Every structure is written in structure tokens, then in C-alpha cells.
């Protein structure tokens, strides 16, 4: 049974409110006003802009702060499989019985998460990583390995928060929220880099296509996009952006080189080694 708080939140038009929030934070206002708002926002969330290409007064909207370009070399790449984001590694473990852990006592289905039984079967016995991005974090998603994108899937859904409260109170949270799944054909096989939408994540965009998530008039049907030319990404290249923080879940199939987990929780940056092989 849903708690009263969960029930009340479920009645809110979270997708519309999130799209509206995304529109507002990317709105370009007159320079004196925008500079003041950006400074207040950066101060409130304690966002570190020391590695940004632009100075704080050069940003034209609050949203631009989250998808800021970084000074080259500010995210050195470690060996092996690296973190695709700045954030917190919540958990990593073996995928068992078609389930992924959400929080202690709660799991969710890999098949429902990926929207495909055949894709889910490929990852049984493999490894998963759950990485959370908070407002102070840089919000771009980068390639954790070199590889080619042959397929991407957009699964529309709800936009519940992905904070600790939601993990405890929303069943199948990561399977009901909107997702953009990038399948990267790499030296570890075809891995899934899943960008999970959340409340106030008004948009998820990718660098290899023009589509974005949670538009005001987007289709509510799942969309599979196939790329015959298979755009190539070097390790560390930008795959996409959250236009506000959320969660990335990576799934690594079994059968390839053996993985040795180097980090199973805690703060990470783009390029932090998660596993060697």
C-alpha cells in the first residue's frame, strides 16, 4: 500500500511540471538578472565551477551551468571501465535472477527496466552499476569505454524523484521512470548505459541524435532507434546530458573479459576506474 505522501505525489503532473521546470531554468534572461540568479543558484547548491571553461558571469541561464563544458584534462581517464558521470556510485553487483536491487528489501525487473526480454536475458550473470547525480554535480554522461552505438531506446514513463525517499517508497522506481538506453558495442560486449529521468529532469539529450526526452508533446510510446552507421565514441567522449541531475545505470554482459571491481560505492568523477579486466 502506498504511503499518504506517495499517494499525494502520484496525483501531481510530475512530467509536465518537470518539462516546465526544464524550460524555465534554460530561459535566457537579461544579463544583470540572469547573473544574479545564477550566482544564487550556484551558491545554494555549492556548485564548483573551477573546472568550467566559462566564468560564472558568462553563463546565460541556470540550466547551462549543469551542462557546462569542462577545461580539457580536468577529468583524466583511468584504466578499464570508467565512470560515465560525476556523482555517487550507489551500488555495483552481479545481476541475478533477472532482478536489480533498488534498496534493501526492494528489487526491480531487468526486463521491465530495459523494455525487452531478449536484452534482459543477455545481462543475466553480468554486472551492474548504479550512479546518482545530485544538483552540485556536472550533468554530462560520457562513454565508459570505447565503442559504437548501434541502437538506442527511449522508454517514456513517470518522473518520480530518484532520492533516498523515493527508493524506499516507490516500487520499481527505475522501471517506471522515463529512460533513454544507449547500447554501446565495446570490448566488454554490448553494454547498456541507461539514463533515467527524474522529477525536474526536464530533458535528457544525446550527442548522436536530435531526440530529447520529456518534451511537452512527445509520444508516449517506446521508440527504438537504429543507427546503421554506428557512430563511434572513444572512452570519455560525451554521450549525452541530463538537463538536471538524475541516475545512470550501467549493465555489463557476462562472457567477456573477467571484471575486477575496483570501486563498489562512494563519490566518483567522469574517468574514475570502476573495474579492470
Q: Is 34 helix (H, G, I), strand (E, B) or coil?
A: helix
The answer to whether 154 is a known catalytic residue is no
- Quickly state the pLDDT bin for 113 (edges 50, 70, 90): very high
134 and 151 Cβ atoms separated by less than 8 Å: no
Q: Is the pLDDT of residue 17 over 80?
A: no
Q: How far is CA 186 from the centre of its chain?
A: 19
Ranked by mean pLDDT, the top range of 63-67, 78-82, 196-200 is: 78-82
- For the segment 211-227, the average pLDDT, to the nearest whole number, is 76
What's the whole-number average pLDDT of the chain? 88
**So what's the pLDDT on residue 200?**
72
- The tens digit of pLDDT for each residue in 120-143 reads 999 999 999 999 998 889 999 999
Question: Among all chains, which residue has been given the C-alpha cell 530495459?
Answer: 114
**So what's the pLDDT on residue 105?**
79
Q: How many CB atoms lie within 10 A of CB 270?
A: 24
**From the candidates 34, 86, 205, 243, which is the catalytic residue?**
86
Better pLDDT: 247 or 160: 247
> Residues of the chain with pLDDT > 70: what percent?
88
**Which range has the worst mean pLDDT, 21-35, 38-52, 121-135, 155-169?**
21-35
Q: Is 22 helix (H, G, I), strand (E, B) or coil?
A: helix
The answer to whether 246 is a known catalytic residue is yes
249 and 196 Cβ atoms separated by less than 8 Å: yes
Q: DSSP character for 140?
A: E
**So what's the pLDDT on residue 154?**
93
Q: Is the pLDDT of residue 1 over 60?
A: no
- For the segment 50-60, the average pLDDT, to the nearest whole number, is 92
> Residues of the chain with pLDDT > 90: what percent?
60
Integer-rounded Cα radius of gyration of the chain: 18
Better pLDDT: 100 or 243: 100
**So what's the pLDDT on residue 202?**
59
**From the candidates 26, 142, 154, 243, which is the catalytic residue?**
142
- Quickly state the pLDDT bin for 218 (edges 50, 70, 90): low
- For the segment 214-241, the average pLDDT, to the nearest whole number, is 86
- The tens digit of pLDDT for each residue in 158-202 reads 888 888 888 988 899 999 999 999 999 999 999 999 999 888 765
- Quickly state the pLDDT bin for 22 (edges 50, 70, 90): low
Better pLDDT: 126 or 104: 126
Q: Where are the domains of the chain?
A: 12-66, 81-276
Cα 126 to Cα 113: distance, rounded to the nearest angstrom: 15
- For the segment 10-14, the average pLDDT, to the nearest whole number, is 59
Q: DSSP character for 56?
A: G
100 and 91 Cβ atoms separated by less than 8 Å: no
Cα 218 to Cα 37: distance, rounded to the nearest angstrom: 30
**Which range has the worst mean pLDDT, 109-113, 172-176, 244-248, 273-277?**
244-248
pTM here?
0.90
Better pLDDT: 93 or 245: 93
The answer to whether 86 is a known catalytic residue is yes
Q: Is the pLDDT of residue 24 over 80?
A: no
Amino acid at each position: 500500500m502506498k504511503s499518504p505522501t506517495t499517494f499525494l505525489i502520484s496525483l501531481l503532473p510530475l512530467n509536465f511540471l518537470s518539462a516546465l521546470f526544464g524550460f524555465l531554468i534554460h530561459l535566457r534572461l537579461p544579463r544583470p538578472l540572469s547573473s544574479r540568479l545564477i550566482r544564487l543558484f550556484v551558491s545554494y547548491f555549492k556548485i564548483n565551477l573551477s573546472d568550467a571553461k566559462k566564468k560564472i558571469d558568462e553563463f546565460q541561464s541556470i540550466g547551462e551551468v549543469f551542462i557546462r563544458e569542462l577545461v580539457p584534462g580536468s577529468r583524466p581517464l583511468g584504466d578499464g571501465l570508467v565512470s560515465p558521470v560525476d556523482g555517487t556510485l550507489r551500488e555495483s553487483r552481479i545481476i541475478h535472477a533477472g532482478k536489480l536491487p533498488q534498496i534493501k528489501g526492494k528489487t526491480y525487473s531487468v526486463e521491465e527496466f530495459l523494455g525487452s526480454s531478449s536484452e534482459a536475458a543477455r545481462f543475466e550473470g553480468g554486472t551492474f552499476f548504479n550512479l546518482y547525480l545530485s544538483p552540485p554535480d556536472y550533468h554530462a554522461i560520457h562513454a565508459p569505454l570505447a565503442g559504437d552505438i548501434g541502437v538506442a531506446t527511449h522508454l517514456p514513463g513517470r518522473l518520480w524523484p530518484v532520492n533516498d525517499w523515493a527508493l524506499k517508497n516507490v516500487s520499481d522506481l527505475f522501471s517506471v521512470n522515463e529512460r533513454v538506453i544507449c547500447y554501446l558495442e565495446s570490448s566488454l560486449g554490448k553494454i547498456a548505459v541507461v539514463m533515467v529521468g527524474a522529477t525536474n529532469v526536464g530533458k535528457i539529450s544525446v550527442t548522436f541524435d536530435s531526440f530529447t526526452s520529456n518534451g511537452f508533446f512527445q509520444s508516449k510510446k517506446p521508440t527504438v532507434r537504429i543507427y546503421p552507421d554506428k557512430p563511434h565514441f572513444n572512452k570519455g567522449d560525451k554521450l549525452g546530458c541530463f538537463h538536471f541531475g538524475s541516475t545512470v545505470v550501467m549493465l555489463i554482459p557476462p562472457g567477456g573479459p573477467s571484471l575486477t571491481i575496483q570501486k563498489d560505492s562512494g563519490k566518483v568523477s567522469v574517468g574514475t576506474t570502476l573495474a579492470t579486466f
